[in-house]
Chains A and B, each alone.
Chain A
Amino acid sequence: MNAAAEQSPDLFALGRAAQAATGSRGLFGCWRRLLSTGWQGPASAVSAFAEESDLAILGGLAAVAGAGANTLVATSIPTLIEATRLGLRGLLRLAVIGGESVEQQERRLAELEERVRSGLLVDGVVPTPEDDCLGLATLMFFARCRLALPKVPHVLVDLDLLGPKLGQLALAFGADELCGPIVAERALRLGDNAGSRAITRGEAAQLLRGAGLRACERVAGGALKEFAS
């Protein structure tokens, strides 16, 4: 745990310590998800992912990798290990549990950090609030993830789950990457499209910049490119 956060465990000190640990760069890229009905999202997406909860219906990890997925969003460590063994980018969802004490959270994160130090490959964690979790609890969990998991490269915001509002705030509390429905062009928010959570690449960059981060895009081949417009 970062010393600043230990000594002054208030919201602003925690956020500030997490920000300092994050650095100045925020990442985004287009994502598409493998479902039993096929791919959802743009074909040009650089992150092609499957959720662990869909693996059974998708025919297992090998089938997912064979279908072109390059990322697995896991909920369990054995599946994560298996995914990284197959060459997939391994992301791990971490539940934000309503009512969980700070001590319980820190113990959970310390155990994960210990496993990472022992060789577990986790490219990023995705804080995933349970239904009854509110905004501040979620933001503080993001900050604790960033501070307690220094060996995990990324803390990701699931935009589909958090929405752009809370998602952007998470960027001020230690998150450094946006994942979710980021598209090249979004239809106007009229009629059936009202309430759509899809955001454009430009809007993703705006969210990152609004949170004080430099916007960088994941492009083909795993490279990162400063987003210019």
Chain B
Amino acid sequence: MPSISEKLRAGIPLSFADGMALFRESDLLKLGGLANQVREQLHGDRATFNRNLHVNPTNLCVANCRLCSFSRRSPDQPGAYTLSLEQAWGKLRARLDAGDRVTEVHVVSGLHDSLPFDYYTELLAGFKRLQPTLHIKAFSAVEIFHFHRLFQLEVREVLQRLVAAGLGSLPGGGAEIFAPRVRQRICPNKCDGDEWLNVHRTAHQMGLRSNCTMLYGTIETVEERVDHLLRLRALQDETGGFQVFIPLAFHPDNNALSHLPAPTAVDDLRVCAAARLLLNNISHIKAYWVSMGIKTAQTALWFGADDLDGTVQEEKIYHLAGSETPQALAPAEIVRVIRAAGRTPVERDTLFNVVAEGEAWPACASSAGAPK
């Protein structure tokens, strides 16, 4: 750890061996303190969130990943669904009609084997017609790669057509763990790590921004976690297109890996802190409250994270895997969580531009007893 501190002070990127040392550091508070220093150098005491809506148009999926609780193989299975375009648009319309100033819709789906490409382009175009200023963050790299194969289009052309329909950026899902050993066992039918990275590379070359993730807590080793993070860092060195890294905790309920224990909170905070220290070229680390739980996510604001994601509304993927968090958090509640952590809430848009800060939420919560 002393040499790691010196490297951090000198702005030298940490090595693979350093990454291993971070994950093997038994003193969580020491690791957290180090990550918090970097976090505060980058972002001070600010913690961001946005007003977003999750829409999952279908859970029919050909991938059959062992880690997944959301997908269904056939329309006959209990719980299988595919939203009509009107149903999908209706979810946004309901939010707008309620006066909600939602700035982002986040769209991810199963890998459907027969919906036409027009369904996806029209889906995005319809959201834009409802709210022209809306930012659409849609389709993980896994879905983009599926479209490439299914519709026999180059990845670039898939992205170009989606951008023409209203796509603004890509979410970071589907990265799981890049190591082939793990991928072969938990998600053998998804695109591989190189293909995932290449979709993001292409998106970045087109001027799109994207997010990146790592699913931890299944069968991966510490070496495979560090390798994953360094591969993300290498692509960021090349393109600079990632906005935020999101550690995603595996949830074992209702899937083929339900014999595994859920990652512990110490795992959650360790991954968050190690990512903050290793990913020196990615500006933001998100504590995704749906995945971590609200209380752990709040604590993560002192272990390297500077963002809590958003209001979310109707998250399905983690909730079917056992997440006990609410389906949505009101902006006032997110502000309360951030203030109670002794941080300053800042509402952002998808691209991390400031939407509101300071006295925008005067009476949401006090910070009595918060860390100093």
Residues on A close to B: CB < 8 A? Answer: 9-12, 14-16, 19, 99-102, 105, 134-140, 163-169, 172, 188-191, 194-195, 203, 206-207, 210-212
Do A138 and B254 contact each other (CB < 8 Å), given the known contacts A164-B264, A169-B269?
no
* Chain B 67-107 interface residues, beta-carbon cutoff 8 Å to A: none
Is A166 within 8 A of B264, CB to CB?
A: no
The number of chain B residues with a CB under 8 A from chain A is: 42
Asked if residues A139 and B299 are in contact (CB atoms below 8 Å), the reply is yes
Q: Nearest chain A CB to B9's CB is how many angstroms away? A: 18
How far in angstroms is the closest Cβ of chain B from A80?
Answer: 26
Which residues in B have their C-beta under 8 angstroms from that of A100? 368-369
Q: Across the interface, which residues of B come within 8 angstroms of A102, CB to CB?
A: 368-369
Set B261, B265, B324: member contacting A206, Cβ < 8 A: B261
Q: Does B337 contact A (CB under 8 A)?
A: yes
* Minimal Cβ-Cβ distance residue in B for A14: B371
- List the B residue with the shortest CB-CB distance to A173: B29
Which of the segments B42-50, B162-170, B288-296, B355-363 contacts the partner chain?
B288-296
Q: Are A212 and B369 in contact (CB under 8 A)?
A: no
CA distance A211 to B32 in the complex (A): 13
CA distance A101 to B267 in the complex (A): 30
Across-interface contacts of A206 in B (CB, < 8 A): 261, 264
CA distance A135 to B267 in the complex (A): 16
Residues of B within 8 A of A194 (CB): 253-254, 322
Q: Are B265 and A166 touching (Cβ within 8 A)? A: yes
Which residues of chain B are within 8 angstroms of A11 by Cβ–Cβ distance? Answer: 302, 371-372
Partner of A12, one of B29, B261, B342: B29
The answer on a CB contact under 8 Å between A135 and B299 is yes
Instruction: Find out whether the CB atom of A166 lies under 8 angstroms from the CB atom of B295.
Output: yes
A102 to B340, CA, bound (A): 13
* A interface: dominant SS: helix
Question: In the complex, which of the residues B261, B294, B302 contacts A134, with contact meaning CB atoms closer than 8 Å?
Answer: B294
The distance in angstroms between the C-alpha atoms of A11 and B269, with both chains bound, is: 14
Closest chain A residue to B251, Cβ basis: A189
CB distance from A213 to the nearest CB of B (A): 10
Least CB separation from A134: chain B residue:
B340
Known: A15-B29, A134-B337, A188-B258. A165 touches B369 (CB 8 A): no
B367 to nearest A CB, angstroms? Answer: 10
Q: Could you give, for residues 263-274 of chain B, a 1 whenever the CB lies within 8 Å of some chain A CB and a 0 otherwise?
A: 011111100000
Q: Are A136 and B264 in contact (CB under 8 A)?
A: no
Most chain A beta-carbon contacts within 10 A, residue among B27, B302, B336, B337? B302
Nearest-neighbour CB distance to chain A for B288, whole angstroms, equals: 14
The reply to whether A137 and B299 contact each other, CB–CB distance below 8 Å, is no
CB atoms of A189 and B294 under 8 A apart: no
Which residues from chain B contact A99 at a C-beta distance below 8 Å?
A: 366, 368-369
CA–CA, A143 to B263, complex, Å?
Answer: 23
Contact call B371/A172, Cβ cutoff below 8 A: no
Q: A93 → chain B, closest Cβ, in Å? A: 19
| Residues of the A chain whose Cβ atoms lie less than 8 Å from the Cβ of B293 | 163, 165-166
Residues of chain A within 8 A of B28, CB atoms compared? 172, 211-212
**Are B258 and A189 interface neighbours, CB within 8 A?**
yes
A and B contact pairs by CB, cutoff 8 A, 22 listed: A10-B371, A11-B302, A11-B371, A12-B32, A12-B36, A14-B371, A99-B366, A99-B369, A134-B298, A134-B337, A136-B302, A136-B371, A165-B264, A165-B295, A167-B265, A168-B265, A172-B29, A189-B322, A194-B253, A195-B322, A195-B324, A206-B261
